[in-house]
Chain A
Amino acid sequence: GNSVTQMEGPVTLSEEAFLTINCTYTATGYPSLFWYVQYPGEGLQLLLKATKADDKGSNKGFEATYRKETTSFHLEKGSVQVSDSAVYFCALSSGYALNFGKGTSLLVTP
């Protein structure tokens, strides 16, 4: 069945540091891949997505590239801000329901 594995947190970084959150997946067929973000006290929001191999999703300075050969969709940002502190979820969809990873908590300190 489909599954997503993402690195455990919490991740603590200083402002302006480089961020990588690893995500790998197992799926049949050709899933779409997503990163969702949950800011403190708020609901889940779509951060970015990629629907086929080698696609790069990007938004708010975050990027992730759909790598079929390594079944990965790692999230990166070149310079994090305090406002990026949140929980990040990697997810896949090969139909309609989303399969989520466990989430990675990110804390950015000034």
Chain B
Amino acid sequence: GAGVSQSPSNKVTEKGKDVELRCDPISGHTALYWYRQSLGQGLEFLIYFQGNSAPDKSGLPSDRFSAERTGGSVSTLTIQRTQQEDSAVYLCASSSRGLNYEQYFGPGTRLTVT
């Protein structure tokens, strides 16, 4: 079946612009995660959605970052007023449950802020 998909695969933006990154999880998966992969910081957890519960935003690095998940499916990660340090690969994952269940990752969106 279809895996986790993300779009765009690459995004180049100018410093100060807003960007939106999209994630389509595996159908039926109730849990959705965003991570960031950068050379300096490795893989970092950003945010977690589980069903209709309030998301865990504890990993978001600043208030310029926000995410939503509509209808319990597609998620959008928004970065406002992008900075050069936001350049990274943004990974989305989904799982059938939240707790210690296998997470399936998408191919990622490579964001470059110039």
Contacts and interface: CB of A to CB of B under 8 A. Distances in A.
Interface size class of B (residues with CB under 8 A): 20 to 34
Chain B interface, DSSP helix/strand/loop, else mixed: strand
B91 A97 contact: no
Contacts, number: 49
A97 B50 CA distance: 11
Interface size class of A (residues with CB under 8 A): 20 to 34
Contacts of A44: 91, 93, 105
Interface string A54-88: 00000000000000000000000000000000000
Contacts of B56: 96-97
B85 interface: no
A20 interface: no
Interface of A: 32, 36, 42-46, 49, 51, 89, 91, 93, 95-103
